[in-house]
Amino acid sequence: MRLRRFRNLDTIQQHTSVKQFNRWRQERMKRQQKKDYSFTVPSVAPDLNYLHNNRTHPSLTWVGHSTFLIQLAGLNIVTDPVWSGQMAFHKRLSQPGIPIEDVPPVDVVLISHSHYDHLSIQSLRRLGGVKQLIVPAGLGQKLRLKGFTRIHELHWWESVHIHGVKFTFVPSQHCTRRNPWDNNSSHWGGYVMEPYAASGHESMAAAPAEVGTRPVLSEYPTLYFAGDSGYFRGFEEIGRKFELDVALMPIGAYEPEWFMGPQHVTPEQALQAYLDCKAKWFVPMHYGAFKLADDTPREALDRLQSGIQELNIEAERVLVLPQGETWKLSGR
């Protein structure tokens, strides 16, 4: 049986040849000597008492890279589970915001695609709870072979309802591979999470109430987890189909842009994607944990701040979370 290969919305040049990879590797050896990795993404001690006892109010906690613990409609949701201490030959740059043994029982796991920095089988196994997996089309069989049985497999724009939340798998511009033979044999994308009552919740005011330094949204926020993506027209389509409160957007692994650009947005492109999808709040991710490309965590954040000014975005709409901090979306 011929293996199915998935594609992007638009034809892009995927830099996967040995010649291109060797060019990047040679450039990287010279560039890395000038890079400063002394900056570490800030972390705070997680509020474990709150996280383990909260089954009512929405919250968002950045674990690191593309891993979040999201509490929504009574569900504990984990995105792209990776607690790995090393990626290829590179050690993790900062410790996860919540140690994996301290994560509350997980109800739902969202996997955006199969790359190792977004799906760690060991991390997935170590998480407690019932762990209903929602995965891209083509990935289900691989996970069943690893022993996982609670799996919903989705194509773009397909949805599944789980205990008060509608999860919709939406497009991104990327690719997948876990070994030399399975290139693009499973899909890639992001997820929109809509609590059932979200369609009836009031729109936020221009200057919402705040608790401490974090804004208060609603008991029923709609969240968009973008996964991994290059910049593409799909962001506008997502914005037309959903009324988004918070967009979790990647800002790292973009340099060199000639090599990474088709599949990884720059910080400036991430901000434009946020404007395209018409979300109200922007939370950056996919930086600070691993040396996946030639940019550093400090460079990604500096370019993010410059992009905010260049695009005339209200600075308070961009929330740079420390690892481990819980943003209580309803203020409670």
Q: pLDDT tens for residues 222-234? A: 999 999 999 999 9
Q: Is the pLDDT of residue 305 over 80?
A: yes
Ranges of each domain in the chain: 47-199+211-328
Q: Is the pLDDT of residue 185 over 70?
A: yes
In this prediction, residues 307-311 reach a mean pLDDT of 98
Average pLDDT for the chain = 91
**For the segment 30-71, what is each residue's pLDDT rounded down to a tens digit?**
666 678 888 999 999 999 999 999 999 999 999 999 999 999
Residue 125 phi/psi, 5-degree rounding, is -65, -35
**pLDDT tens, 15-29?**
555 566 666 666 666
CATH number of 47-199+211-328: 3.60.15.10
Is the pLDDT higher at 107 or at 183?
A: 107
Under 8 Å between Cβ of 123 and 289: no
Decide: residue 34, CB within 10 A, 0-12 exposed, 13-18 middle, 19+ buried: exposed
pLDDT at 199 over 60: no
Residue 182: per-residue pLDDT: 85
